[in-house]
Every structure is written in structure tokens, then in C-alpha cells.
């Protein structure tokens, strides 16, 4: 245990010392995050904290593992995997650093991530067998490589996606790392225990500068590196044992928040027909902020959920059959409760509803009719002919009714009324209505109604109706109708000023 504590402390101190240096480097090369867009911070923040995390971890590994007594505890197989971990994590860190300095295309990032994951697989970090609680054991066979690559790349991007609030990603990774350490320590997996203790210490040293209000962000260099180490070590522990079975439910539970956030992001972007890698403000932490929860409290809430999930992960790793089942149910209940708490199901329903309203049939019908409306109005020569054109509009755009009303309250007088054949069948129709003023100061309004399952008017429909009313008002004014009086001519500024001077004299 002293070795693990030493690794943790050395890594924490090294990262804490390296973080101010990383801030200077970030400012020197302008690797900063500016306010605006999806960013919620109000000032320029350096985003090269991954350099400090990587440096803290590497210094500790080289000092306590390669040169220190810990290396003597590793056999040849563990040393070989350690080399693969170092190479793969260095590739991931380099990719993230390149993206921090100069944005890298999504496809290129994905290809490099696949390369790093393939390196890890070639050094023995493989998912050959999956032992799922309550379901049994499944052999991957020829699918070992794609499943392993999918797992590593998925966790890397999950950690990257959750890095949206001060201290959020670092805290979640810290708790997940502690969970992996506990499982590895109790299983006697020295290699994973040392790496997890080192990573947790490095993250904690950085977290002193990253917690709200943050003075530095970890950036892609940090999230890619930490995500890779977590993903690789989460499938390395059981492989050190004779059973060679991977209980994939343990790392899934420990990393439940970033995993579920990634899955929800994929579903959300698919439903909204946007690229899967397109950034947005629909993540769990954004939803908490939109609910009015403060920045720090949102982070602490996710910390609490992560701790509960990590406890469940430990129970899954060491529980008996019924205990494992209970732990899985508890973890599922926590994740489901988080999703319900942030109103994510309602959010998707509202988004789908808005999307449907944008593409509603009435919007499309009216959009096509509006293009032909000026010619119809232009052919009218009297007020009656202009108003009669509204009947044609109602039929073409599938309106239930269109009314032009003068006055208000008890003095309202209908100047024009069109109603469909089944307008009086109130029980079988769900009507949406919109009333717009015809012209300023005219005390005349136009009332539209149409069948719709929505109680409110889509913004696109509102804009199109305003175009109709403006066109109607202009042609009523053209034919001399009193419903739309002629607007007074604007007074020239120079004339008005001259008159004011005359009065003063």
C-alpha cells in the first residue's frame, strides 16, 4: 500500500507543479478558450492542462516504476503491456495537443484514435471474453479487435464530451480511477493499481487549478489521455487473472455519467438530423445549468451521481449473484433518475415537436400560396374583391376560417368572414388560431384558424401570416379602403427644424 500512496502523492505534486507552467505555455502560444458560443466562462482561459496531467503521470511512472522498486513487482507480460500503455497514451496526448494548438478534422482525429486503440490491442489490452452479470459469458473471437477499438475510442470521446464545466471531467475521471484502483488492489493486479493511483494523483493535482472558478482547462490533450488510460486499464485488470474474463459491467458503471451522456448526445443528434460529432448545448451539465442550477452545484450533483455509480461498480465486481443483480438495478436506477431529473425525455419530446412543427403541412401549404398571393391581390379593383381573395387563400392553404374584424369587445364587427364546410363541428377538430392587426391605428384585425394538433403557432407560420396581412393591408390601401388608412407622409427633418426655429423667433 505504501507504494500506491507514494505513486499517488508524487503524481499529485508533480501535476500541481506542472500546471502553472502549462498555463504559461498556453498563454505564450495562445492556446486559450475564449468566451462565447457554447462556452459559459466569462474570460479567456488557457486550455493546455493536459500537458500538466501527462507530465505528472509520466514523471511518476518513470520515477517509481522504471527506476524505483515497483518495477520489480512486474513480470515480463506486465512490462510489455506497460510499454503499450505508454505508447498509446503518448499518441492520444499528442493528438489532443495538436487539436488544442490547431483544430484537427473529426475524421483525422477518429483515425488516430483507432490507431492508438489498435496499438493497445496489439500489446495485450484485449476484450476476448465478456462476462456480463446475469447474462453469462460471451467469446468475442475475431471480433476482439473491433470490440476493443470501439470500447477505447468510445470512452475517450465520452470523457471528452463531458469536459464542459470547471472541474467536471477531472472529477469524474478521479472517482472512476479510484474505483478501478480499489478493484485492481483487491484483485491483486499490481500493474493496474499503480497506474490508477498515479493517474488519480495527477488528476487531483490538476484539479486544484481546474475546479470552479477554473484557472486552466485540461483541453483535448488531457481528456484524450485520461480517457485512453481509463479505457485500457478498465479491461486490463481481469486479464491479469487466470480467468481471463472481462466483467464489462464494472467499467460501464464507474463511467456511467460520460457513457450515458455520449449515448444521449448520439440519439439527440440523430433525431435532429445533425452530424454525430457536431457540438451543441444539450449535454447533461448544460441541462442542469438551464434548470437554473449554479455552475458549482451542477458539478457537485454529477460528482454525487458518479460516486453512487462507483460504489455500485465495486459491488458488481465483488458481489455474489443476487448482490450483483441488485447493484446493476441500483446503478440503472441512479442513471434513470439523473435523466428524469434533468428532464431529458421531455427535452427530446419538445425538440421533436418543434421539428415537426417546423415541417408541418400547414406551413408548407401556406408557404406555396404566399408566392401566388400578390398576383391575386393585384387583380382586385375594389375592397370587396380584395377581401374575397382571402376565401381563395383559405381554400388553398387549408384554413378553417379567415375573418377580418373591426373594433373590439362588444363593438366588434365582422367585415369579412370565410368558414369551411365543417367549421361548426367543434368536437372533431383541434383548432389553432392566430390574430394579427391589419395596420397601425386602424383598429382592424385578421383572424386565422386551422386544424392542428399543436396548441400554439409555429414561428414559421407566424412569419408567413404576417406577410399575408401586410400584403392585404397594402392592397386595401391601394383601392382606397378605410380598413387600412393611408399612413401620413413623414415630415422632412430640415422643414421641421425650420418651423421650430420660426416658432422660437
Rounded Cα gap, residues 369 and 47, in angstroms? 52
Phi, psi of 216 (to 5 degrees): -160, 145
Query: In terms of pLDDT, which residue wins out, 69 or 46?
Result: 46
Rounded Cα gap, residues 74 and 70, in angstroms? 7
How, if at all, do strands 45-46 and 32-33 pair? Answer: antiparallel
Confidence grade of residue 428 (pLDDT, cut at 50, 70, 90): very low
Rounded Cα gap, residues 354 and 360, in angstroms? 10
Q: Within 10 Å of residue 115's Cβ, how many Cβ atoms?
A: 14
For residues 177 and 195, the answer to whether their CB atoms sit within 8 Å is no
Q: What pLDDT sits at residue 425?
A: 54
Q: What pLDDT sits at residue 146?
A: 93
Rounded Cα gap, residues 141 and 122, in angstroms? 15
For residues 220 and 136, the answer to whether their CB atoms sit within 8 Å is no
Rounded Cα gap, residues 204 and 84, in angstroms? 25
| DSSP-derived secondary structure for 434-451 | EEEESSTTS-EEEEEEEE
Mean pLDDT of the chain: 79
Range from 57-61, 344-348, 399-403 carrying the lowest mean pLDDT? 344-348
Residue pLDDT, tens place only, 291-337:
778 888 888 888 888 888 888 878 777 766 656 667 667 777 777 77
Sign (positive/negative) of CA torsion 397, 403, 408, 409? Answer: negative
Count the alpha carbons within 13 Å of 105 in the hemisphere toward its beta carbon. Answer: 3
Confidence grade of residue 75 (pLDDT, cut at 50, 70, 90): low
> Can you tell me whether residue 275 is helix, strand or coil?
coil
Rounded Cα gap, residues 193 and 123, in angstroms? 18
**246 pLDDT above the threshold of 50:** no
For residues 184 and 192, the answer to whether their CB atoms sit within 8 Å is yes
Mean pLDDT confidence for 144-172: 89
**277 pLDDT above the threshold of 80:** no
Q: In the chain, what percentage of residues exceed pLDDT 90?
A: 22
Q: Within 10 Å of residue 279's Cβ, how many Cβ atoms?
A: 14
> Can you tell me whether residue 241 is helix, strand or coil?
coil
Mean pLDDT confidence for 213-230: 92
Q: What pLDDT sits at residue 95?
A: 95
Query: In terms of pLDDT, which residue wins out, 371 or 62?
Result: 371
Helices (DSSP H) in 102-248: which residue ranges? 106-122, 144-161, 168-187, 190-210, 219-234
Number of H helices, E strands in the chain: 18, 8
Contacts of residue 498, Cβ cutoff 8 Å, sequence gap at least 6: none
For residues 82 and 29, the answer to whether their CB atoms sit within 8 Å is no
Q: Within 10 Å of residue 89's Cβ, how many Cβ atoms?
A: 26
Q: How is residue 380 annotated by DSSP? A: -
For residues 394 and 402, the answer to whether their CB atoms sit within 8 Å is yes
Residue pLDDT, tens place only, 465-479:
999 999 999 998 898
**493 pLDDT above the threshold of 60:** no
Most confidently modeled range among 128-132, 221-225, 231-235, 331-335: 221-225
The closest of 248, 250, 254 to 305, measured between CA atoms, is: 254
**347 pLDDT above the threshold of 90:** no
Q: What pLDDT sits at residue 174?
A: 93
Q: How is residue 490 annotated by DSSP? A: P
Q: Structural domains in the chain?
A: 2-356 (no CATH), 360-478 (3.30.450.40)
Residue pLDDT, tens place only, 247-271:
566 777 778 788 888 887 777 777 6
Amino acid at each position: 500500500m505504501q507504494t500506491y500512496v507514494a505513486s499517488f502523492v508524487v503524481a499529485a505534486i508533480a501535476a500541481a507543479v506542472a500546471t502553472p507552467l502549462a498555463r504559461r505555455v498556453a498563454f505564450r502560444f495562445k492556446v486559450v478558450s475564449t468566451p462565447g458560443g457554447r462556452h459559459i466562462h466569462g474570460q479567456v482561459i488557457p486550455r493546455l492542462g493536459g500537458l500538466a496531467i501527462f507530465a505528472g503521470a509520466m514523471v511518476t511512472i518513470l520515477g517509481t516504476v522504471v527506476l524505483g522498486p515497483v518495477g520489480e513487482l512486474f513480470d515480463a507480460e506486465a512490462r510489455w503491456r506497460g510499454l503499450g500503455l505508454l505508447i498509446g497514451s503518448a499518441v492520444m496526448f499528442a493528438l489532443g495537443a495538436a487539436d488544442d494548438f490547431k483544430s484537427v478534422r473529426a475524421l483525422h482525429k477518429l483515425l488516430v484514435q483507432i490507431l492508438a486503440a489498435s496499438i493497445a490491442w496489439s500489446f495485450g489490452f484485449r476484450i476476448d471474453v465478456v462476462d456480463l452479470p446475469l447474462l453469462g459469458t460471451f467469446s468475442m473471437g475475431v471480433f476482439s479487435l473491433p470490440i476493443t477499438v470501439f470500447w477505447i475510442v468510445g470512452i475517450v470521446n465520452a470523457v471528452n464530451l463531458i469536459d464542459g464545466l470547471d472541474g467536471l471531467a477531472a472529477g469524474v475521471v478521479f472517482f472512476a480511477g479510484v474505483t478501478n484502483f480499489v478493484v485492481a488492489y483487491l484483485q491483486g493486479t499490481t500493474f493496474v493499481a499503480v497506474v490508477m493511483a498515479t493517474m488519480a494523483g495527477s488528476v487531483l493535482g490538476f484539479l486544484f487549478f481546474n475546479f470552479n472558478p477554473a484557472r486552466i482547462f485540461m483541453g483535448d490533450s488531457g481528456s484524450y489521455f485520461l480517457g485512453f488510460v481509463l479505457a485500457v486499464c478498465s479491461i486490463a485488470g481481469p486479464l491479469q487473472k487466470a480467468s481471463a474474463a472481462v466483467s464489462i459491467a464494472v467499467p460501464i458503471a464507474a463511467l456511467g455519467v460520460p457513457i450515458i451522456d455520449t449515448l444521449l448526445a448520439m440519439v439527440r443528434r440523430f433525431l435532429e438530423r445533425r452530424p454525430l460529432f457536431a457540438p451543441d448545448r444539450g449535454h447533461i451539465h448544460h441541462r442542469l445549468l438551464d434548470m437554473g442550477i449554479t455552475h458549482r452545484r451542477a458539478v457537485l450533483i454529477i460528482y454525487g451521481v458518479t460516486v453512487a455509480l462507483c460504489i455500485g461498480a465495486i459491488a458488481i465486481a465483488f458481489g455474489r449473484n443476487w448482490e450483483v443483480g441488485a447493484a446493476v438495478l441500483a446503478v440503472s436506477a441512479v442513471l434513470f433518475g439523473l435523466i428524469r431529473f434533468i428532464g431529458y425525455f421531455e427535452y427530446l419530446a419538445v425538440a421533436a415537436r418543434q421539428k415537426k412543427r417546423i415541417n408541418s403541412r400547414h406551413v408548407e401549404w401556406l408557404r406555396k400560396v404566399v408566392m401566388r398571393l400578390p398576383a391575386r391581390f393585384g387583380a382586385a379593383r375594389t375592397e370587396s374583391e380584395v377581401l374575397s381573395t382571402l376565401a381563395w387563400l383559405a381554400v388553398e392553404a387549408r384554413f378553417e376560417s379567415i375573418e377580418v374584424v373591426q373594433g373590439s369587445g362588444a363593438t366588434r364587427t365582422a367585415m369579412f368572414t370565410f368558414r369551411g364546410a365543417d367549421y361548426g363541428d367543434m368536437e372533431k377538430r383541434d383548432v389553432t388560431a392566430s390574430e394579427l392587426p391589419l395596420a397601425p391605428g386602424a383598429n382592424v384585425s385578421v383572424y386565422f384558424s386551422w386544424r392542428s394538433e399543436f396548441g400554439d403557432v409555429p414561428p414559421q407560420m407566424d412569419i408567413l401570416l404576417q406577410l399575408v396581412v401586410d400584403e392585404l393591408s397594402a392592397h386595401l390601401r391601394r383601392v382606397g379602403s378605410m380598413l387600412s388608412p393611408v399612413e401620413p407622409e413623414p415630415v422632412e427633418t430640415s422643414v421641421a427644424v425650420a418651423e421650430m426655429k420660426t416658432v422660437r423667433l
